[in-house]
Homo-oligomer: A and B are copies of this chain.
Amino acid sequence: MQIEIWSDVVCPWCYIGKRRLESALAGFEHADEVEIVWRSFQLDPDAPREATETIATHLGRKYGGGPEAGRQMIDRVTGIAAGEGLAFDYHDAQRASTVDAHRLLHLALAEGGPALQGELKERLLDAYFVDARNPADRAVLSEAAVAVGLREERVAAVLDSDEYADEVAADAAQAAAYGATGVPFFVVDRRYGVSGAQPSELFGELLERAWADSHPLVQVVGGDDAEACGPDGCAT
């Protein structure tokens, strides 16, 4: 089974949804046969590569109410995150482009597969939401990528080029094709989609359903009274 998750590294519901899915997987008998692949989604594609303001300031300006309103939005989601064991503290994080983070996530997938990509995804989310680090900062990105085992020179080469930019764009196009306008967006076996950080119980039901689908038993229509012939003759 494969779960593709469209997500951004600066999306609070994505991190919360990740924990809820992980909670469902912890109770799922066949979790070791589930592969998770992270797909790119830029929540704020206009965000600059060079940060100019904090996310709280940006939110307050975009939705009104100033920095204090922005901080209150962050406070609300921080409270929900705490319920999932996540210690969000990102009021002072910078608003900045996540395209380079997504390009490194594609590098991790290409070089180390879904397991390595998953480690990098967790580190990048943690860097932003817990440590309020700049998601576009080269040192932050490189440190996370090297920490999970990617070669420093290879990471630098990707950051110095536009390698994997096409893959990031292709992921966005696929999300649009599925009709997804927000994240997290989960797709199981290209068959079921889940929009948003749903309760872990819902993820659990979905895992069971998708498992049954990919391991079909033949369900027989018609029974002993069917118009059929057997060792005891033909029904007439």
Q: Does A202 sit at the interface, judged by CB under 8 A? A: yes
CB pair B234 A221 closer than 8 Å: no
List CB contacts (< 8 Å) of A11-60 with chain B: 11-14, 16-17, 43-44, 59
Q: How far is the CA of A8 from the CA of B188 in the complex (A)?
A: 41
Interface readout for A203-236 with B: 1 if CB under 8 Å, 0 if not? 0001000000000101111110011111101111
CB pair B192 A17 closer than 8 Å: no
Stretch at the interface among A116-124, A159-167, A177-185: A177-185
- Beyond A14-B229, A17-B227, A228-B13, whether A219 also contacts B192 by CB under 8 A is yes
CB pair B181 A193 closer than 8 Å: no
List CB contacts (< 8 Å) of A70-115 with chain B: 73, 76-77, 80
CB pair B235 A13 closer than 8 Å: yes
Within 8 Å by CB of A236, from B76, B192, B206, B216, lies B76
CB pair A229 B73 closer than 8 Å: no
Count contacts on A: residues with CB < 8 A to the other chain: 54
CB pair A77 B13 closer than 8 Å: no
CB pair A233 B197 closer than 8 Å: no
Cβ of A76: which chain B residues have Cβ within 8 Å of it? 236
CB distance from A103 to the nearest CB of B (A): 20
CB pair B193 A220 closer than 8 Å: yes
CB pair A228 B191 closer than 8 Å: no
Interface residues of A (CB under 8 A from B): 8, 11-14, 16-17, 43-44, 59, 62-63, 73, 76-77, 80, 178-185, 187, 189-198, 202, 206, 216, 218-223, 226-231, 233-236
> Which 5 A-B pairs give the minimum distances between C-beta atoms?
A196-B226, A182-B230, A195-B222, A196-B228, A193-B220
